[in-house]
C-alpha cells in the first residue's frame, strides 16, 4: 500500500499544440512524475501526449480520460486509458479526478477544465493561455507560472 500515489494532477491543453507548448508539457509531466504524482490528461495528442510522455520517461504513471468510445484513441504514453463516451462532459471528470490542474496554453476545452477545477476548489496553474477575470473587482483566480518547474512547485506546495 505504501507505494500508493498520494496526488493526482491534471495536465490540460490543446491537442493541436505548438512545439513550445509540447516541450513545456513534457517538462511538466516529468516534474510531476518526479514529485510522485499521477498525471491525468484527456488522453489525446498535443499537450496531453507530451505530458504523458514526459511522465512515463521519468518513471511515472499516467491516466487518460478519453472523450470518445475507443481506447485506441489514447496516445501511446497513457498507462490507464478510460474511454468515457461522454464527449465534452469528460472535462468534468478530469477536473473531479484530480487534486490540482496545470494548463499549458489551450483552447475552450482547456478553459472549461480550468473553470470546473476552480469550481471544485482545486488549485489551478497556467503557463500561458487563458486569462480570466471578473469585471469587478478585477481579479484573476489562476496561479501564473513562467515554466514547468514553477508550475509544479506552485501545485505541489498547495497539496
SS3 sequence of 5-42: CCCEEEEEECCCCCHHHHHHHHHHHHHHHHCCCEEEEC
Q: For residues 133 and 147, which CB has a smaller minimum distance to a second copy in the complex?
A: 133
Q: For residues 31 and 126, which CB has a smaller minimum distance to a second copy in the complex?
A: 126
Q: 137: cis peptide before it, omega within 30°?
A: yes
Shortest Cβ 81–a second copy spacing (Å): 8
Shortest Cβ 27–a second copy spacing (Å): 19
Shortest Cβ 88–a second copy spacing (Å): 5
Query: How far is the first Cα of the chain from the last one, in angstroms, to the nearest whole number?
Result: 20
Q: For residues 96 and 158, which CB has a smaller minimum distance to a second copy in the complex?
A: 96
Q: For residues 58 and 118, which CB has a smaller minimum distance to a second copy in the complex?
A: 118
Instruction: Answer for the pair 48, 13: CB distance below 8 angstroms, yes or no.
Output: yes
How many CA atoms are closer than 13 Å to the CA of 151, on its beta-carbon side? Answer: 30
Q: For residues 121 and 157, which CB has a smaller minimum distance to a second copy in the complex?
A: 121
Q: What's the full length of the chain, in residues?
A: 159
Interface contacts to a second copy, rule CB under 8 A: 1, 4, 8, 38, 61, 63, 65, 69, 71, 76, 79-80, 82-89, 91-93, 95-97, 107-109, 111-112, 114-116, 118-120, 128-135, 141
Rounded Cα distance between 143 and 34, Å, is: 21
Shortest Cβ 43–a second copy spacing (Å): 12
Instruction: Supply 139's cell numbers.
Output: 481579479
Shortest Cβ 72–a second copy spacing (Å): 12
Amino acid at each position: 500500500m505504501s507505494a500508493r500515489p498520494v496526488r493526482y494532477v491534471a495536465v490540460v491543453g490543446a491537442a493541436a499544440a505548438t512545439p513550445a507548448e509540447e516541450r513545456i508539457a513534457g517538462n511538466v509531466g516529468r516534474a510531476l512524475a518526479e514529485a510522485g504524482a499521477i498525471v491525468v490528461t484527456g488522453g489525446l495528442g498535443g499537450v496531453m501526449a507530451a505530458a504523458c510522455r514526459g511522465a512515463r520517461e521519468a518513471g511515472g504513471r499516467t491516466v487518460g480520460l478519453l472523450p470518445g468510445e475507443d481506447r485506441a484513441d489514447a496516445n501511446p504514453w497513457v498507462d490507464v486509458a478510460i474511454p468515457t463516451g461522454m464527449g465534452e462532459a469528460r472535462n468534468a471528470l478530469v477536473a473531479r479526478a484530480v487534486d490540482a490542474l496545470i494548463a499549458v496554453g489551450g483552447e475552450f476545452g482547456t478553459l472549461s477544465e480550468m473553470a470546473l477545477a476552480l469550481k471544485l476548489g482545486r488549485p489551478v496553474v497556467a503557463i500561458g493561455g487563458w486569462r480570466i477575470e471578473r469585471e469587478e473587482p478585477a481579479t484573476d483566480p489562476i496561479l501564473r507560472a513562467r515554466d514547468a518547474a514553477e508550475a509544479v512547485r506552485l501545485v505541489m506546495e498547495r497539496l
